[in-house]
Structure 1
Amino acid sequence: MKLVHLPLRAAIGVFMLNSGLTKRGMEGEAAQATHAMAVGAIPQLRQIPPNRFAKLLSYSEATLGTALLAPFVPSALVGLGLAAFGAGLVQLYLKTPGLRQPGSMRPTEAGTPIAKDFWLVGAGLTLVLDDLTHRKRLGR
């Protein structure tokens, strides 16, 4: 990991790890509500039962957070994971009614916490591009 990536990876990594650990015991109505929102954006997720989906989401966030914090995991690799995870959340933002102002990309008050996930895509792509262009400059 390049030293310049440390602040970005640490800030997002700690947040993602905490988010994943917080969701560890999610069951019942909370799991059903989270699952329903995800199914609204990605209908294929309907095939996964809500409690299993909540566990997979928890593990995914915790794993991604840990990978971001691990200095031996290449920035391009964690950047791809972060961009992919963020893209799923952006899809949720774009497809869930009530998160955006009518006819606009601007978030409603309810949509603001999810609209921030555009940053995850940008941060992930920044890690990938910087890592790849740095390697190219070094002739790797």
Structure 2
Amino acid sequence: MKLAHLPLRVTIGAFVLNSGLSKRTLEGEAEGMHAMAVGAVPQLSQLEPARFAKLLSYAEISLGAALLAPFVPATLAGLGLTALGAGLVQLYLKTPGMREAGSLRPTLAGTPLAKDSWLLGAGLTLVLEGLTHGRRRG
């Protein structure tokens, strides 16, 4: 892990890991979370809400651990983070009431989802830096 990646990977990794750990024992919240996800990705309706929550928990725990592990390449950790960020941005864009009419600007209810766009940006930064690392400018 590059020293310059340390602040980004540790802070985001710890946040995502904690989020995944907290989803392990969701009771009563899995249905609402699943319904919101189905609104953005209809194919998720094939999963039971409890199974969806468990899989999401495992995915977040794995991603958080990958970001924290110094031996996981930046490109690989960035791909996982980009996928999570893209999913959250899609949730924001497709969930009614999250944006002001005719705008990308979030409503008060949409701000918690809109702010997750930083995860997409951080993931893309890790991927791009990993892909361009060591290349010389011509």
Give your verdict on TM over 0.5: yes
Q: Partner of 1:30 in structure 2?
A: 29
Q: Partner of 1:4 in structure 2?
A: 4
Helix, strand or coil: the match of 1:89?
helix
Task: Measure the CA separation in 1 of the matches of 2:36 and 2:74.
Answer: 30
1:46-82, CA deviations, whole angstroms, 9 ceiling, x for partnerless residues? 0000000000111111110110000000000000010
Aligned length: 136
Task: Measure the CA separation in 1 of the matches of 2:52 and 2:72.
Answer: 26
Sequence identity of aligned pairs in percent?
71
Q: Partner of 1:73 in structure 2?
A: 72
Runs of 4+ residues deviating >4 angstroms: none
Task: Measure the CA separation in 1 of the matches of 2:41 and 2:134.
Answer: 35
Helix, strand or coil: the match of 2:112?
helix
Q: Partner of 1:41 in structure 2?
A: 40
In the alignment, does 2:93 pair up with 1:94?
yes
Report the alpha carbon displacement of residue 116 of structure 1 after superposing the two structures with TM. 1.2
User: So what's the TM-score if we normalise by structure 2?
Assistant: 0.96
Q: Partner of 2:19 in structure 1?
A: 19
2:51 alignment partner AA: R
1:3 alignment partner AA: L
User: So what's the TM-score if we normalise by structure 1?
Assistant: 0.94
1:11 alignment partner AA: T
Ranges in structure 1 where 5+ consecutive residues have no aligned partner: none
